[in-house]
Amino acid sequence: MAVRIGDIAPDFTADTTEGTINFHEWLGDSWGILFSHPKDFTPVCTTELGAFAKAKAEFDKRNTKIIGLSVDPVESHQSWKKDIEDTQGAALNYPLIGDPDRKVADLYDMIHPNANDTLTVRSVFIIGPDKKVKLSITYPASTGRNIDEVIRVLDSLQLTADYSVATPVNWKDGEDVIIATSVSDEDAKQKFPGGWKTLKPYLRVLPQPNK
Ligand code: BEZ
Digit-coded pLDDT (tens) for 136-146: 999 999 999 99
Q: What confidence score (pLDDT) does residue 112 get?
A: 96
Task: Give me the mean pLDDT over the 28-36 stretch.
Answer: 98
Task: Give me the mean pLDDT over the 44-49 stretch.
Answer: 98
SS (H, E, C) 85-106: HHHHCCCCCCCEEECCCCHHHH
Which residue has a Cα nearest atom 7 of ligand 1?
A: 141
Instruction: Residue 65: name the closest of 136, 126, 153 by CA.
Output: 126
Q: What confidence score (pLDDT) does residue 1 get?
A: 80
**118 burial type by CB count under 10 A (0-12 exposed, 13-18 middle, 19+ buried):** exposed
Which run of H or of E encompasses 122? Answer: strand 122-127
Which residue has a Cα nearest atom 8 of ligand 1?
A: 141
Atom of ligand 1 nearest to the CA of 47: 2
**To the nearest whole number, what is the mean pLDDT of the chain?**
97
Distance CA 150, CA 2 (A): 20
Distance CA 26, CA 85 (A): 25
pLDDT digit string, tens, across residues 57-82: 999 999 999 999 999 999 999 999 99
Candidate from 37, 45, 116 with most ligand 1 atoms within 8 A of CB, to mutate: 45
pLDDT digit string, tens, across residues 171-208: 999 999 999 999 999 999 999 999 999 999 999 999 99
Candidate from 35, 36, 39, 48 with most ligand 1 atoms within 8 A of CB, to mutate: 39
